[in-house]
Each structure stands twice: as structure tokens, then as C-alpha cells.
Amino acid sequence: MLGHPLESGRMFHKVLVANRGEIAVRIIRALREMGIVSVAVFSDADRASLHVRMADEAEHIGPAPSAESYLRSDRILDAAHKHVADAIHPGYGFLSEDASFAADCEQAGIRFIGPSSAAIRALGSKIDGRRIAVRAGAPVVPGTNAPAESYDHARIIAHEIGYPVLLKAVAGGGGKGMRRVNSEDQLEAAIRDARSEAERAFRSGEVYVEKVVENPRHIEVQILGDEHGNLIHLGERECSLQRRHQKVIEECPSPLVVQHPEMRAAMGEAALKIARAAGYTNAGTAEFLVDANRNFYFLEMNTRLQVEHPVTELATSLDLVHWQIRIAAGEPLTLRQEDIVWRGSAMECRLYAEDPDANFFPSPGLIDTLTEPSGPGVRLDSGVYEGWRVPIDYDPLLAKLTVWAVDRPTAIARMQRALSEYRVGGIRNNIAFFRDILDDPEFCGARLHTGFIAEFMERRTARSPSPELDIIVALAAEKHYRERRPAQPNNGAASASGWLIEGRARNLQ
Ligand code: MV4
């Protein structure tokens, strides 16, 4: 190991990955590249999972339900001690934004690869996040910086802000406990609903009031900070394509920022001000809403590595997980802001075991055949393999397909090509759904906003072609082709078209 480029007195020898699926695989890959031993943890449902196969060491941490395994900080810390790990990478979800877990790691002398527990705690409350942003001089949506104490209090505030307003849970996230209120007569019932939903989801019924930003874009900024006071941003990601608060396709750069390049530095500076005010270290993401006039407003800070980090990695040629590990080990960020350059266009599709034709119902089960895309500009972060059974117990994200190309239209064509190579047999998946979105004129025209997917679904149903008709057309084309070229010798080149047409007819069935 002598002379390893990352070798220093403080670099970790062994890291435990407190996660599963594609993100555990992603982190294990980074550890291997850095010469660090990896430890996987797994539940009963994940004994045969890819992350367990790929890690150097592995430890069983409990039954399938995440509350009894991946959320059990005590068992994860026991596993870290048993394997003598120096640090824990939490990935996303599970314990990644749990300030108490980060504190427990700090207490146990194990580095938590992420921000300090204090920063996670401060930014975990949406109101405290707003207060930090206001103090730092970053724009926030007009609203209150304290929970609404009573109906009368909320009524006065909403009147001042002006309808429509949004009630949001202080401890919130993911749209839970959020209620739009168009006029004062709806307010009382909305407060009751928002409170009880927030109480159930977050065990805190506190809500606050914000002005509604109509049909916003959701654009977020990636930041990196070290433990020596250096802080940089890696630009934005366009995340407006969401369905029920689940992102569907993400891009870097944002097409809006391509049209208005000054937005990148403006949003980047706002994100850095907030991070500085919060004493933020490691990787983080500042979420913004952007209105029709291109005003942007800070929403919240995500204090973890995000699912969609690959688009930033492809556009900047940086490895965020390497940097997370180096920063946690105390190394200085050797990148300066002026070193960061963005090139081309990156786009990510999240492949789910779900049925888009049945209201996106999860579709776990055996993957009986799997053909994966590759080739120029294609990156696949997958957590599955052929012959593996997708468990019902977790989020059904199978893989992320990310492409890079010189510009957005070329990236769209490349994503279409990669999706056309992808076959996942035995379970339902959303590959065809992506192909339809990438074909959509509104998407290709980059007219993106948070209501896009809902409107797209409407358009799609409205022009709903008869599947039977598609099959008839394809079969007629096949017949026509056969009759027109009757006596081709059966060499590879001549049969290719036949294969293609036969394949098309089959795909339509
Ligand atoms: C908003 C908003 C409009 N105005 N706040 C949804 C989840 C939560 N993190 C913030 N969300 C929103 N906050 C104001 N003042 C619209 C949304 C919103 C949304 C935001 C980002 C991505 C998708 C969304 C879908 C619906 C609503």
C-alpha cells in the first residue's frame, strides 16, 4: 500500500456501509478504489443481495423489516465494533439523516461519513433551516419562521402573507403534513388535517405557513465542505420531474440554467451562505423552488448523499463518494471553486420494480432474465442480478441508469438507446414509461415543472392508442417486409432487419 495516492496517516482502513441495494454497491465500489476494506450489513431478506456479495466482509443485523435491521443503530454499531471499522457510511434513507445516530457514532469513536450531528439536527427542522437561511441572507419563500400556535395565529399570518398559502410540517419532508389553503374558509379544517398527518408521520404536529409558489421548478445545488473551512458548490440538478414527491428523471445541468447561466453562481452562492451559517461539512444538497420569473427560494438542506448524485458526477468528472470519505478522514478539499467545470449533459432514470399501468404498484419477485445496457456514455448503478428475488420489504429501486452526452438532445437519444438495450424479465418495471417521457415533446422542449408528470399522465391517457392496433400495424409491416425481400441469404446483415421487425412486434405484445 506504500505510495497509494490517498494514503495518509488518517485515511480509514475499514468502513462499514449501513445500507443496502444500489447505493451500498456504489459505496463499496468507491471503497475498493481507495484501497479501503468494506463491511456490508444485511437483513434476512438480503442474504443473497449484490451488496453482500461485493463487500469484503458482511454482518447479519436482523430480520427483514428495516425497523429491526437497517434502522437499528445499536446493531449497526455492534457490527462496526466487531469488524473493527473506522467509519460508517450511511448512504441515503435509513439512518443517513438521523442526528442521534451520527452522535452515537461520534460517541463510539467511529467516524460518521457525513456532516456533524449538530448540523444534521439544525437542518432537520424545516423552520430552523429557514431561520439559518434568513440569517445567512439567502432567499426563502415568504412565510413564518415559527410554528403556528393556534388557529387565530395562523389566520393572522395567512392573511398577512396572502392566499393561497401552504401549511407545512415543521419536522416534515416528502410532502407529508402539507396542505394548500386557497382561502380563509378552508384554513381551520386544513390545519386540523395537516396537524394530525404530521403528528402521525413525525410525532410532531407543529405546522407553519408559507406562500404558495405556483407550479415551481425544483432545482437543487450540490455542495461539499471539508473540516478546514473550505466549502464549494458543484452546481445544480434539475429535479422537477417527480411523481408524488418521488423523483423520476434528474439532470445536470438544469435546462433552465443553461438558458440563464448566471443562475448557477447565484444559487450556488446562496447554498454556500446557508452551509457556512450551519457549520456544514461533507456532502449536502440545498433544495430550491424556482418560480416562473426565475426567482429562487431555499426550501431545505438534505444532509446526505442523494440518489441522483451521479448526474453531478458525470457533468463535473468528480467522485462525490471519494470526496465524502476523504473529508470524513480529515483531508482538506483540494478543489477550489474555480476548478469546478461543467461539461455536457447528464440524465438519470430511476429503474423501479413497479407497474406504471397499475398505478405504479410495487412489483417484487424473481428477476428471471436481465440484459443490462452499456456502451459509450452509459453508467449503470445497479443493486440486482439475474436470478435474484427483489424483496417486498424495501423501496423497489432496482438501479439507476445515467447517461452523459455532449448536449441534452444527444443525452436524450443516448438514454433512449440505453433503455432499448435494457431487459428486466419476471417483474414489472418502468422502462417503457421512461421511453414515453423521453419521447414527449414537452420533455424534449425542456418545459419542466413539478406538475409535469401529472400533466404527462393526462396527455398519455388522452391519446391512449389501442395496443391491438399497434400490434396489427407491426405485424402488417413484418408481412410487407417478408414479401418484399423474399430470397435473402441468411447472413447476419440481411437478417438484422427481420430480427428488428420481429422484435418490435414482440415488444408491442
Ligand atoms: C412548496 C411548493 C410550493 N410553494 N412550497 C413538496 C415537498 C416539500 N419538500 C416541498 N414541496 C413543495 N413546497 C411552497 N411555498 C411546492 C412543493 C411541491 C414540490 C416541490 C418540489 C418537488 C415537487 C413538488 C411537488 C409538489 C409540491
Residue 498's pLDDT band, with cuts at 50, 70 and 90, is very low
What is the atom index within ligand 1 of the atom nearest the CA of 300? 9
> Does 362 score more than 70 pLDDT?
yes
pLDDT at 461: 84
> Does 364 score more than 70 pLDDT?
yes
pLDDT at 462: 81
**Residue 297's beta-bridge partner residues?**
289
What is the atom index within ligand 1 of the atom nearest the CA of 143? 15
User: For residues 357 and 251, what is the distance between their CA atoms, to the nearest angstrom?
Assistant: 25
- Residue bearing cell 419477485: 365
pLDDT tens sequence across 393-406: 999 999 999 999 99
pLDDT at 492: 37
Q: Are 435 and 423 in contact (CB under 8 A)?
A: no
Ligand 1: residue whose CA is nearest its atom 8: 175
Residues with CB under 6 A from ligand 1: 141, 166, 173, 175, 210-213, 216, 218, 242, 245, 289, 299, 450
Region 370-391 average pLDDT: 98
User: For residues 69 and 478, what is the distance between their CA atoms, to the nearest angstrom?
Assistant: 53
Tell me 258's DSSP state.
Answer: H
> Does 249 score more than 70 pLDDT?
yes
- Give CA separation, 101 vs 71, 95, 96, 154, in Å: 10, 7, 8, 34
Q: Are 211 and 142 in contact (CB under 8 A)?
A: yes
pLDDT at 482: 61
Close Cβ partners of 217 (under 8 Å, ≥ 6 residues apart): 238, 240, 254, 256, 289, 290, 448, 449, 450
Active-site pick, 20, 179, 304, 414: 304
pLDDT at 471: 66
pLDDT tens sequence across 13-34: 999 999 999 999 999 999 999 9
Region 140-144 average pLDDT: 93
Collapse the DSSP code of 264 into the 3-class scheme (helix H, G, I; strand E, B; otherwise coil) and give the result: helix
Helix ranges restricted to H, 68-184? 73-82, 99-107, 117-124, 126-136, 151-161
> Does 286 score more than 90 pLDDT?
yes
Q: Are 180 and 451 in contact (CB under 8 A)?
A: no
**Percent of the chain scoring above 90 in pLDDT:** 83
pLDDT tens sequence across 41-60: 999 999 999 999 999 999 99
pLDDT tens sequence across 194-205: 999 999 998 899
Distance 220 CA to ligand 1 centre (A): 13
> Does 477 score more than 80 pLDDT?
no
> Does 190 score more than 50 pLDDT?
yes
Region 480-485 average pLDDT: 57
Q: What is the dihedral of CA 267, 272, 275, 276, to 10 degrees?
A: -150
What is the atom index within ligand 1 of the atom nearest the CA of 242? 23
Substitution candidate for ligand 1 out of 210, 245, 308 with most atoms within 8 A of CB: 245
> Does 365 score more than 90 pLDDT?
yes
Looking at per-residue confidence, does 27 or 124 come out higher? 27
361-362 and 87-89 beta bridge pairing: unpaired
Residue 504's pLDDT band, with cuts at 50, 70 and 90, is low
Mean per-residue pLDDT over the chain, rounded: 92
User: For residues 210 and 161, what is the distance between their CA atoms, to the nearest angstrom?
Assistant: 8
Q: What is the DSSP string of 37-63?
A: EEEEEEEGGGTT-HHHHHSSEEEEEE-
Ligand 1: residue whose CA is nearest its atom 20: 218
Phi, psi at 5, each rounded to 5°: -60, -30
Looking at per-residue confidence, does 492 or 296 come out higher? 296
Cα angle for residues 455, 396, 234 (degrees, 5° grid): 70
> Does 440 score more than 80 pLDDT?
yes
Distance 212 CA to ligand 1 centre (A): 9
Of 53, 100, 93, 47, the closest CA to residue 77 belongs to 100
Substitution candidate for ligand 1 out of 450, 452, 453, 456 with most atoms within 8 A of CB: 450
User: For residues 35 and 49, what is the distance between their CA atoms, to the nearest angstrom?
Assistant: 23
What is the atom index within ligand 1 of the atom nearest the CA of 214? 3
Q: Are 282 and 224 in contact (CB under 8 A)?
A: yes
Residue 176's pLDDT band, with cuts at 50, 70 and 90, is confident
Distance 172 CA to ligand 1 centre (A): 11
Residue 324's pLDDT band, with cuts at 50, 70 and 90, is very high
Q: Are 64 and 47 in contact (CB under 8 A)?
A: no
Least confident of 299-308, 374-383, 476-485: 476-485
Long-range contacts of 411-415 (CB under 8 A, 24+ apart): 411/251, 411/344, 411/345, 411/346, 411/347, 411/377, 412/347, 412/438, 412/443, 412/444, 414/376, 414/377, 414/378, 415/347, 415/349
> Does 493 score more than 60 pLDDT?
no
246: cell is 418521488
> Does 381 score more than 60 pLDDT?
yes
pLDDT at 469: 65
Distance 213 CA to ligand 1 centre (A): 8
Ligand 1: residue whose CA is nearest its atom 24: 450
User: For residues 142 and 184, what is the distance between their CA atoms, to the nearest angstrom?
Assistant: 18
Substitution candidate for ligand 1 out of 161, 289, 291, 453 with most atoms within 8 A of CB: 289
pLDDT at 466: 61
Ligand 1: residue whose CA is nearest its atom 23: 450
> Does 5 score more than 80 pLDDT?
no
pLDDT at 486: 43
- Give CA separation, 175 vs 178, 201, 235, 330, in Å: 5, 11, 25, 36
What is the atom index within ligand 1 of the atom nearest the CA of 212? 4
Region 484-500 average pLDDT: 44
User: Is 304 a residue of the active site?
Assistant: yes
Question: Where is 88: in which H helix or E strand?
Answer: strand 87-89
Least confident of 74-88, 338-352, 479-493: 479-493
What is the atom index within ligand 1 of the atom nearest the CA of 210? 15
Distance 107 CA to ligand 1 centre (A): 36
Rg for the chain (alpha carbons), in Å? 24
pLDDT tens sequence across 238-248: 999 999 999 99
Distance 240 CA to ligand 1 centre (A): 10
> Does 480 score more than 80 pLDDT?
no
User: For residues 31 and 17, what is the distance between their CA atoms, to the nearest angstrom?
Assistant: 10
Long-range contacts of 460-466 (CB under 8 A, 24+ apart): 460/436
> Does 4 score more than 90 pLDDT?
no
Distance 245 CA to ligand 1 centre (A): 8
> Does 429 score more than 70 pLDDT?
yes
Distance 205 CA to ligand 1 centre (A): 19
Structure pTM? 0.90
pLDDT at 490: 39
Is the dihedral angle over the CA atoms 94, 98, 102, 103 positive or is it negative? negative
pLDDT tens sequence across 58-80: 999 999 999 999 999 999 999 99
